[in-house]
Amino acid sequence: MSQNSPLSLILVHSTAFYRSDSWNTLVILIFGIIFKAALLIQVLEAVQFRGEKMGYPVRYFSSQNYHELKKECIKDKKLFEDPEFPASDESLFYRTRPLQQIDWRRPGELCEDPHLFVDGISHHDLHQGKLGNCWFVAACSCLALRKTLWKKVIPNWRKQEWDTKHPNKYAGIFHFQFWSLGEWVDVVIDDRLPCVDGNLIYCHSNVKNEFWTALLEKAYAKLSDSYEALDGGNTADAIVDFTGAVAESFDLTEGHYRSNLIEQARLFEGIYKVYTRGGLISCYIKPSSISDMETVTPTGLVKGHAYSVTKVKKVVLGEKTLCFGKTSKLFMVRMRNPWGSREWRGAWSDESQEWKRVSKSEKEALGLTVRNDGEFWMTFEDWCTNFTHADVCRMINTSSLSFHKTWEKEEVRGSWTKNPEPLLNRSGGCFNNKITFFQNPQYVFDVSKEEEEVLISLQQKDQRVRKKEGKGDNFIIGFEILKVELNRQYRIHKLHGQERAASTQYMNLRSMFLRKILKKGRYVIIPTTFHHGIISEFILRLFTDEPSHFRELLHDKPTVTCWTFLQGYPQTVAQVFVRSVEGIQRSENSGEGDLYLIIKCERESVRSAVCKKTNNAVFDIRAIFYQKNISETIKVQVWESHIMCDQFLGQVLLATSPNDPKEELSLQLHGKDGQEAKKMPGQINLKVVSSNDLLEL
């Protein structure tokens, strides 16, 4: 440790304290520690800022480098004009042409003192224009709530801001960053914005000289190939593109959230935790038909319209006192309509009588405003009753320097591809496609704890850019999770005893999410499209408590190497399934022990988990072996766990053959080391399946 480091200086001062009896020295010591701690915090924050700035790679969209382009424009004393997203009709629409003449203007032509931000950034800044992208505007409202998030989307915003003192440094160029299938993409735009009669026609701020909303929308439109491509969408998708969060969708009409108060409270606590830990939430009412779209309910809510949740709060009712007082808490959410008007008219609306139950200080803390600005409060019960769907976007914590739960994150970018050769095809469709299902990509991971909660997110490539081709809809996707052999190293080809541990619904959403508690063992995730033969990219993300050794299964069977000639190549494949052991006795004395299994084949062995304090243990484990010497038997041994030395309790020897019966067998345990004929107490229940075709299992 350096002698001049903050920590060493603190230690020096601490030593000085023990040598001094003066209170003055103590005061100096305390202030010295505080000062040096503050310096240390500043250093750590600087390091953290540098890490955030340099900690992730960024890909330039259309190979456009913002800094080089801006430098070139300043040198040539010209304003940037983007050739990749020109100020023309092709950037506006691909199908619906506007009735009015569109005029492209720069912010300086719309007002005298343009700025990215005026008095900071706020979720109140946004107002939806003449484009049906309320979902995008709602996502922007959510983004504006989190400074750490929008600073990533709008990088180095101070350097992009208009500088009135140095107008010659302005080049009419901006850039924004979006998360796309696991990587951050930097999108460059010019500042020419579509207008009619001198007014912005799309997303705009409630302050005339503030332009971050319009410019962000343009960058997102460029990423999607046109403004019209933003007409209709999912708020969660935009939030994920802003943050890299994991999206989970809830159908509030299911799950008893409306009728069961316990389930409702559990949902609130989950959403409250997501919100307090930096997550973003949105919701909508699903219309019953196309004609029902954007109709208004008796309580003022708009169907088929995206709302952003701007606060989740436990509101205190009644006056607080120091010691006593009758107070209670009410679960509430604050919503915002992207239109900037038309609010909820039910209980706890802006001017409702219910607010008399809340103290003045609590109202001030909530920031309650009584004006038609599109923002309003609702009880969580009314929220569940009136809205049909909610999208919860989690910022999953993977930092080891955190007080909250830390997740181990693994992710892989893959694709569904077609190939006429079955072993090379990677687009097999869902489980209904029995013949082709296992042709999909396969990924293996381990659960090392007795039980572990896992989070899995599958996201397909955004199809929005294909709208010009008359396509653009999401594919129907989902995934299956199979519990497989403990030593599975190669792809599955047929379902032979592997357990379907979990699966998602198949829906035409851009991403599918699953939260599941899995028991200890090895699992394979198979991401699929519903129909076989679909071509698309995807990203698969896995979050676990412990490292999971997540990886793709690339090979169908053992590969031929330069050592194959000397060591031999497998002739058969055998799967051993051990369900249970019964009637085990310890040799020292009667009683129950801690049992485990070892399954051996040639030089490979598989060990089960320990079943504690039992003589009749259910294991339900599988192992798979590729046998080079078909005359060598497979051993299944039963052991008892001890602190000093484990005790052998018996074994069975299995000579496998493809012609052997496939049903479960109950076999007597025997001894070992030349005592195979000696019977041991207990029996083992198992099944063996083998084949000469290495692709059979």
* Residues classed as catalytic: 134, 305, 337
- Our measurement of the distance from residue 510's CA atom to the centroid of its chain's CA atoms, rounded to an integer in Å, reads 12
CB-CB contact of 660 with 575 (8 Å): no
* Cα gap 201→102, rounded to integer Å: 9
* Cα gap 334→342, rounded to integer Å: 14
Cβ neighbours of residue 80 closer than 8 Å, sequence gap 6 or more: 69, 70, 73, 171, 172, 173, 190, 191
- Give the Å distances, CA to CA, from 529 to 315, 421, 480: 44, 19, 11
Cβ neighbours of residue 16 closer than 8 Å, sequence gap 6 or more: 25, 29
CB-CB contact of 229 with 467 (8 Å): yes
| CA neighbor of 594 nearest in space, from 606, 581, 604, 605 | 581
Residue 601 three-state SS: strand
DSSP for 176-210 reads: EEEEETTEEEEEEEES-EEEETTEE-SSEESSTTB
The sign of the torsion formed by the CA atoms of 251, 253, 255, 256 equals positive
Helix and strand tally (H, E) in the chain? Answer: 14, 30
* Cα gap 465→462, rounded to integer Å: 7
Q: What is the DSSP letter of 356?
A: G
CB-CB contact of 487 with 602 (8 Å): no
DSSP for 101-157 reads: PPEEE-HHHH-SS-BS-SSS--TTSEE--SSS-HHHHHHHHHHTT-HHHHHHHSTTH
* Cα gap 638→323, rounded to integer Å: 63
* Cα gap 387→374, rounded to integer Å: 16
**What does R_g of the chain's alpha carbons equal in angstroms?**
32
Q: Count CA atoms within 13 Å of residue 104 on its CB side.
A: 16
Write down the residue that tokens 């082709």 correspond to.
436
* Cα gap 143→157, rounded to integer Å: 15
* Cα gap 114→97, rounded to integer Å: 29
Helix (H) or strand (E) holding 329: strand 328-336
Q: How many CB atoms lie within 10 A of CB 511?
A: 23
CB-CB contact of 459 with 511 (8 Å): yes
The first and second tokens of residue 1, run together, are: 């440790």
CB-CB contact of 187 with 177 (8 Å): yes
* Cα gap 117→211, rounded to integer Å: 7
* Cα gap 307→388, rounded to integer Å: 12
